[in-house]
Structure 1
Amino acid sequence: MHVFPIRTLPWRAFAVAVGALCLAPIAVIVVVLALSDLLPGWFVIAVVAILLGFMLACQIALVALALYITTRNEITLRGGTMHLKGGEFHERVPLDSVMSVQRLDRGPPLTWRNGIALPGFRVGWYQRNDNDRFVFVIRAAHAPMLYVRTNMRFDVLLGVDDPAALGQRLLANRATDRD
């Protein structure tokens, strides 16, 4: 079994999520507490603050879960199959169906169909604009891209640290990949 991890560090996505989902409710709580003399009843303000605090805790947990899911990405070659794991999306490509492998500096023009698109990270199903072929994408920003053409109903676009090693391994289709 050979594992090719895809390193994703979606720091921009994390910063946006923390800002929008965590810091904004804290700001609301601070404003409500600052205006507590102008608003009727300490009890109402306490209830609002407690509910906002509960909402904030839930949002932090959801952000942590979402970031964990979107950063579990890897390509595994085993049993004569390339197993693609990207977030909640999983796909299998038999090594016998790989027709060609090409390293790209710039990705083909794609239209999003179903997937996760965060700043610096893409995973899911896209469709090529030039030939309407579907493409399964697992890609982190600034990672070298590998375009895998298959004889199946879709192609694969991967952002990996070492596209040459993965490309050679896919085209070689070695017996050690069939363990």
Structure 2
Amino acid sequence: MFSISALNPKTISTLLLLGSAPLLLIAGLLYAFAHQGKGSLAPSIGTVGIAVLLAILALWQLSVVRIEVNADTLRVGGGFYRVSVPLSEVRRDAVMRRDPADPSQMLGLRTNGIGMPGLALGWFRAKSGGEKIFAAVTEGERVLVIPTTAGYSILVSPDDPDALLEALATAPQ
């Protein structure tokens, strides 16, 4: 199993700024209205509860992102966004480090997934050519491109890209 550092400072700060802060602000406003006699505390308590639940869900999603290579399958992702592809469909001879200048290896339109600073997880289209891509990318310098014969490529940024390259190369055919 290979880890992906999806729970990093960029993703945590993004969750705080874009996810929890607005809901907590609304809860504060509802609380202020309740103390002025214009309503009850129930809406503010409910809003805080929703904010906490969403934060826990987001942290869980980020903490379970992994890459796994076993005897016959490559599994990438975690939580709501993951893909499992038989190793027989992985073009292991073509696995490579991403070329930052190649637009066909850059993520474009997100079709179903998470896209925020520090994490791209789920289904995307290539910036050039529109090829389907499943991404589990946190950092641009360690990204590997794993082509498949299943009609899409996989982009991953494992903490140890060399170990993943070796695991794919030495996995049984």
TM surpasses 0.5? yes
Deviation of 1:33 after TM superposition, in Å, equals: 5.3
Structure 2, unmatched stretches of 5+, are none
Contact 2:30-2:43 at 8 Å conserved across structures: no
Contact 2:96-2:144 at 8 Å conserved across structures: yes
Computing the radius of gyration from Cα coordinates, the structure with the larger value is 1
2:60 pairs with 1:68? yes
Q: CA RMSD in A?
A: 2.2
2:54 pairs with 1:56? no
Q: How does 1:113-124 map to 2 (within 5 A)?
A: 113-124=111-122
Deviation of 1:137 after TM superposition, in Å, equals: 0.4
Taking the aligned partners of 1:129 and 1:26, their CA distance within structure 2 comes to 39
Taking the aligned partners of 1:70 and 1:4, their CA distance within structure 2 comes to 14
Residue 6 and residue 109 in structure 1: after superposition, are their counterparts in 2 closer, same or farther (change >3 A)? closer
Q: Percent of pairs identical after alignment?
A: 22
| TM-score using structure 2 length | 0.81
Contact 1:21-1:59 at 8 Å conserved across structures: yes
Q: How does 1:26-37 map to 2 (within 5 A)?
A: 26-29=27-30, 31-32=32-33, 36=36
Q: Residue 39 of structure 1 aligns with which residue? A: none
Aligned residues: 163
2:131 to 123, 133, 139: 133
Residue 68 and residue 150 in structure 1: after superposition, are their counterparts in 2 closer, same or farther (change >3 A)? same
Structure 1, unmatched stretches of 5+, are 37-41
Taking the aligned partners of 1:70 and 1:150, their CA distance within structure 2 comes to 25
- Partner of 1:19, secondary structure, is helix
Please tell me the residue identity of whatever aligns with 2:20. V
Q: Residue 170 of structure 2 aligns with which residue? A: 172
Q: Residue 103 of structure 1 aligns with which residue? A: 97
Structure richer in strand, relative to its length:
1
Please tell me the residue identity of whatever aligns with 1:63. A
2:139 pairs with 1:145? no
2:21 pairs with 1:19? yes
Taking the aligned partners of 1:18 and 1:167, their CA distance within structure 2 comes to 38
Deviation of 1:4 after TM superposition, in Å, equals: 0.5
Q: Residue 70 of structure 2 aligns with which residue? A: 78
Taking the aligned partners of 1:92 and 1:72, their CA distance within structure 2 comes to 15
